[in-house]
Amino acid sequence: MNVEKPFLILCIAIGLLTSCGNETYGDELAPQTYTATWPCENGMADIYPCNGYDLMSYMSLQDLTPGTGAGSLSGNDSWGWTDPTTNKEYALVGLNSHAAFVDISNPVAPLLIGVLPTATVNSSWRDIKVYQDHAFIVSEAPGHGMQVFDLTRLKNVSNAPEIFTADSHFTDFGQAHNIVINESSGYAYVVGANRNGPFSGGALFINIQNPAAPISEGGFAEGGYSHDAQVVNYSGPDVDYTGKEILVGSNETEIVIADVSDKANPITISTIAYSNIGYTHQGWFTEDLIHFIVGDEKDELNIGTNTRTIIFDFTDLDNPLYDFDYLGTTLAIDHNGYTNGDDYYLANYTAGIRVLDLSQIENNTISEIGFFDTYPENDSAAFDGVWNIYPFFTSENIIISDIDRGLFIIRRSDF
């Protein structure tokens, strides 16, 4: 619906921007200004320690669960989706019993649109990624397979929250720990599946170019069990692999780099380990594809070090090099991390989300420039607090999924 300028001005003048700010003016989203519900002041936003990030809003695990009878609740993974026709932003939040879809286009008043129940039984692990306006969901629940859900259905809900059914249920595999999608190629890579399966828990190749009809196209067993991965159409400094589809797997005791361009013939390029390995958990490229940043999920527990982030030089994919360690300010365990520009957003369990400046990474220097701690009880090495973050919305709102508390929406204070 279009609104005339006088109506928009009236909305702003009488303080109704929350209710009318999502209308469109012409073909553009109407200007919106939102004030944080709990600004970060004197190091706190409500009860949460912070530095440079405001709390826009919060939804508990119960808020993300319609009705009753779900039993004990816990949160896990999350991702984001922006509706290309309305520009509305949505948080896709995993819980042990379901996936929750939340309209966060008004970040101070998020709305649960609906939920997709687990395909089989509850599980503490549920992972969600997006391709072509569809959510792809896997879980370690036995026999779960991959649920495919058309996210455009969210804008047609008249009586929220709705309990959805999947548009497609892909059952060529059973349980899986994680799913990775290369949006440039239209392939999903399911990792952490059955260790006794045909690919030993390595990445499964699934063609999702037609999201409603996924097709299995083999897998990669040579690298062994893969806990997580990043897959890119390579355009980095190593010209030997320009244009190739490169998978970098975090494979428990090492990092494995593979060329998966030919799904029938994936090729290991190289592997690299590092000192004091606890559990090679997850990694992400810097945007120039020169460095690869890895989190080890058990070194803080096994060694007692502060949060350790390990940086590698991937200038030559055939000869990756260990570069340096960055040690954080707390004892908390690191989980998932993502780069956006020169910022690295780290899900740091009990220490919340930590934001690191990568602008001096070539000089072996990384510095913390902000944080928001969703687990104020402590910063110890324990599996509580932040599981995942999604820092890629155009609005620059950031969503956090917390194991114990649910969904947080935060925003940089000086935005």
Q: How many domains does the chain have?
A: 2
The residue segments making up the domain with residue 6 are 1-33
Q: Is 60 domain-assigned?
A: no
Q: According to the model, what pLDDT value does residue 71 have?
A: 76
Q: Is 102 domain-assigned?
A: no
Place of tokens 């090492």: 254
Residue 211 has which token pair?
């999201």
**3-state secondary structure at position 74:** coil
CATH value at residue 183? 2.130.10.10
Q: Is 26 domain-assigned?
A: yes
Q: Is 107 domain-assigned?
A: no
Q: According to the model, what pLDDT value does residue 415 have?
A: 66
The model's pLDDT over 110-135, given as tens digits with 9 standing for 90+, comes to 999 999 999 999 999 999 999 999 99
Q: According to the model, what pLDDT value does residue 17 have?
A: 34
Q: Is 62 domain-assigned?
A: no
> Would the pTM of this model clear 0.75, i.e. be above it?
yes
Q: Is 57 domain-assigned?
A: no
Lowest mean pLDDT across 6-15, 35-44, 307-316: 6-15
Residue 26 pLDDT exceeds 60: no
Q: Is 414 domain-assigned?
A: no
- The closest alpha carbon to 178, from 241, 123, 108, 128, belongs to 128
The model's pLDDT over 137-168, given as tens digits with 9 standing for 90+, comes to 999 999 999 999 999 999 999 999 999 999 99
As a whole number, mean pLDDT of residues 63-81 equals 88
**What kind and span of H or E run contains 328?**
none
Classify strands 111-117 and 215-219 as parallel, antiparallel or unpaired. Answer: unpaired
Residue 246 pLDDT exceeds 70: yes
Residue 7 pLDDT exceeds 50: no
**Interatomic CA distance for residues 320 and 316, integer angstroms:** 6
**Which residues are within 8 A (CB) of 126 and not within 5 positions of it... i.e. 6 or more apart?**
76, 77, 94, 95, 96, 99, 118, 137, 138, 139, 141
Q: Is 300 domain-assigned?
A: yes
What is the band of 69 on the pLDDT scale with cuts at 50, 70, 90?
low
